[in-house]
Structure 1
């Protein structure tokens, strides 16, 4: 992570403003201190003597908080709360706090035109196998006895891939590199994968950060774990007479691993699907649009690696509702109803299981309809029968295989093919789940409802 970001999170003194028009005016600033507290950058300011007691609803939620700190110019975004206490007299001070979920440091707020943002870039390690983009190579020259004589570290330029999204946004996937030599015997270099969202017209923090979060959700699915962002940058909205520059980014949503959520290994692992399997940059574009258009289908799938799972019973019901929604949405999306949704006497899970491809059929033991009927039977029982007696291990297996079905369906839609189903159902990540599912189906469990 960037040094300035670390120093800011560790704690820094400064002057702060919420109105860009009065930035750098001493009479309108608040002295204060900023540091990380739990999920936030907490900016705690001393209220000025001219400020009275707060009235209910009188403290507005600012678009951003601007700071001149020991570390450098700072802009805090995504203000979630403004708690304050006011003291009249005595030996205590009145304090107002701003709790922010993101900030940029290393910019000059006096040069900004507004609180809007032009671009956000997020960096990720360990995605070489997913992206196929390798930005560095090491060559060894060995002596006849096998000992290393010289080592050459070569950084390669990787041509970025781009795609236009809706609402004047462009995505770019590439590889950046940075190197540092503190002393002759200390050298460090890195070539992370970068994902950038740029807007031709400046947008709000939320308009740019949400696609970046959706991209992270995509790679979380590929590795079945939370893949943290290791750094990033942000270009704010500058005045026309100022040459734009970027500052170092911090975002709690992107960088901090949530409690109870598995973190991806720092070593490069084989993903459940690759960037190429979903169609490259155009596939990522379609995924971002899918996440925006159908959050009721995407959210239950991605939330497990962002917020953690609840109980297996609740997770199974969430996945079942998402499957029902997705099949229903596919029926209504176009003027011509898709043929696969017209099969008679088939439930939602059966229709989707029959549609995603033969690889899923093999994954669940050769009869996807049998699996789908069992899945829906257990969902219906959990939802409607408070006295039902069930096997938690069985419900867990059905829930996890239901996640596989939903993932295959959504990524097939993104890719425009059934390649994701083949990748996912044949991946080493879900090999043991496939065994569990096939063993369950081979035991011929009875349905609660006929």
Structure 2
């Protein structure tokens, strides 16, 4: 993280120019302070030094499309303004002020563009750095060779850093790329190497930053599912339309990519073996299909990906979100052509039959499992006194979510053999054995009481 970005996040003073949606701005800047708040967003507070505007409410102002900042540490463009307002004080001992909240910033904005009538705030490329996922991506940036002495002590070590060849896929008029990135910090006796997987989105012409970031958030969703945890982005670079060929690549920050939800990964070990690899999705093309399918089925994907972004969900909620995702998937499939498989009841059985042998081998008897799952969903939805053993409910909810995940991965290019490997060898055997016990001998408490 460079000094400009670090200063914005930890707090710094500066001049700020709000930019209108048309690219216009007031040549006189606002003076104020910026820092990252506890919510994970950038908060900016500036003084309202215009005595005329201080007479009116700050909430009546047009929300800016962006804000250009100039601080003692450098310059930046702040984007995705989500909130704006402030306070008006006439006389007394308080100053009038404006307040803004934002989700994204890119360092190194060419402030000389403020001499123009309009500012180009569009973005041409964003690359996010994902550390610790090289096994999933099938990429290695660093290779270590170490030689020991006869007594076992280290003698020498050689590290070779080489950026692997990028793989790309087309996303409409955008290009998705997957490659490597490396940095070396040769700080005397504390030298360090950073070599994450780099995943980027590039446009031929400048686009809204939200358009490019939304795709990277979808990619992060896929990585989260692969590692069954929130995998934060740690750094990245961007190219802005105002300066498509900078001397050094600007860095960016975005809350959804880089701020993990509170307590989501508490007590969980560091990333281990992924449930599936990028190769099993046919590389970048599989990610492209995942992003496009998300655009078709956003509420279905939410059931699979949202638990990694939002904390505080109990097992009843997890069961409900999973079942609703299955319902919406079946409804969408019927609207697209009423396929025969979608006519089975309950819907959990229809989807289990669609995924086929990999899931039936996982649960033992997919029809019995489907009936238990759907009864538990209906019990929780309709009966306030339905309180099964949380361990049984959690096993059912997790298995249902795995079923929905398997279907989506299969739609994105994963073979049935790979699905079978995921469910039989990579998912916890404890969950598999627990589900089979429930199917073999369904506990009485899972059956909703008669009303």
| TM beyond 0.5 | yes
Counterpart secondary structure, 1:401:
helix
* Alignment deviations for residues 9-48 of structure 1 (CA, whole Å, 9 cap, x no partner): 11111100113766693xx210111111112111110112
Q: Paired residue for 1:433?
A: 431
Counterpart in the other structure of 1:340: 341
Partner residue of 2:180?
A: 175
After superposition, the C-alpha distances for 1:428-448 in whole angstroms (9 at most, x for unaligned) are 443222122122222223544
Cα offset, 1:359, TM superposition = 2.3
- Residues 1:84 and 2:82 aligned together: no
Query: Which deviations, in whole Å up to 9, do the C-alpha atoms of 1:102-158 show, x marking residues without a partner?
Result: 111122144484222111111011101111101101001222333221100111230
TM-aligned CA deviation for residue 216 of structure 1: 0.5
Q: Give yes or no for the alignment of 1:145 onto 2:173.
A: no
- Matching of residues 182-331 of structure 1 within 5 Å: 182-183=187-188, 185-238=189-242, 246-262=249-265, 267=270, 269-331=272-334
The residue aligned with 2:392 is 394
Of 130-139 and 268-277, the range deviating more from structure 2: 268-277
Pick closer, same or farther for the CA change 1:427–1:7 going to 2, 3 Å: farther
1:14 aligns with 2:20: no
Matched, 1:33 2:33: yes
1:349: which partner in 2? 348
1:44 aligns with 2:45: yes
What are the equivalent positions in structure 2 for 1:407-422 lying under 5 Å apart?
A: 407-415=405-413, 417-422=415-420
- Per the normalisation by structure 2, the TM-score is 0.91
CA RMSD of aligned residues (A): 2.3
Specify the alignment match of 1:53 in structure 2. Answer: 55
Gap regions ≥5 residues in structure 1? none
Aligned to 1:120: 126
Q: Displacement, 1:99?
A: 0.8
CA 1:243–1:145: 2 relative to 1, 3 Å:
closer
Q: CA deviation at 1:410?
A: 0.6
Quote the Cα distance in structure 2 between the aligned partners of 1:19 and 1:389: 54
CA contact (8 A) 2:58 2:88 kept: no
- SS of the equivalent of 2:63 reads coil
Which SS does the other structure have where 1:390 is aligned?
coil
Q: Deviations over 1:196-221 (max 9, x none)?
A: 01122222121111111111111000
SS of the residue 1:52 aligns to? helix
In structure 2, the partner of 1:381 is 379
1:62 matched residue in structure 2: 64
3-state SS of paired residue (1:415): coil
TM-score with structure 1 setting the length: 0.91
SS of the residue corresponding to residue 73 of structure 1 reads strand
Residues 368 and 110 (structure 1), Cα distance of their counterparts in 2 relative to 1, 3 Å cut: farther
Whether the 8 Å CA contact 1:46–1:93 is kept in 2: the answer is: yes
What CA distance in whole angstroms lies between the structure 2 residues aligned with 1:243 and 1:276? 34
Aligned-pair distance for 1:339?
Answer: 4.8
SS at match of 1:270: coil
Superposed displacement of residue 191, structure 1: 1.0
Residues 111 and 426 of structure 1: is their aligned pair in 2 closer, same or farther, counting only changes over 3 Å? Answer: farther
Q: Deviations over 1:340-367 (max 9, x none)?
A: 335xx53211011112132221221x10
- Structure 2: unaligned runs, 5 residues or longer: none
Alignment of 1:154-169 (within 5 A): 154-166=160-172, 168-169=173-174
CA distance in 1, matches of 2:418, 2:264: 24
* Structure 2 CA distance for partners of 1:436 and 1:388, relative to 1, 3 Å: same
- Cα distance in 2 for partners of 1:4, 1:49 equals 29
Q: Relative to 1, partners in 2 of residues 1:54 and 1:411: Cα closer, same or farther, differing over 3 Å?
A: farther
Q: 1:104 matched to which residue of 2?
A: 106
More deviation, 126-135/51-60: 51-60
Contact 1:283–1:414 under 8 Å retained in 2? yes
Q: Deviations over 1:363-383 (max 9, x none)?
A: 21x101110111011111221
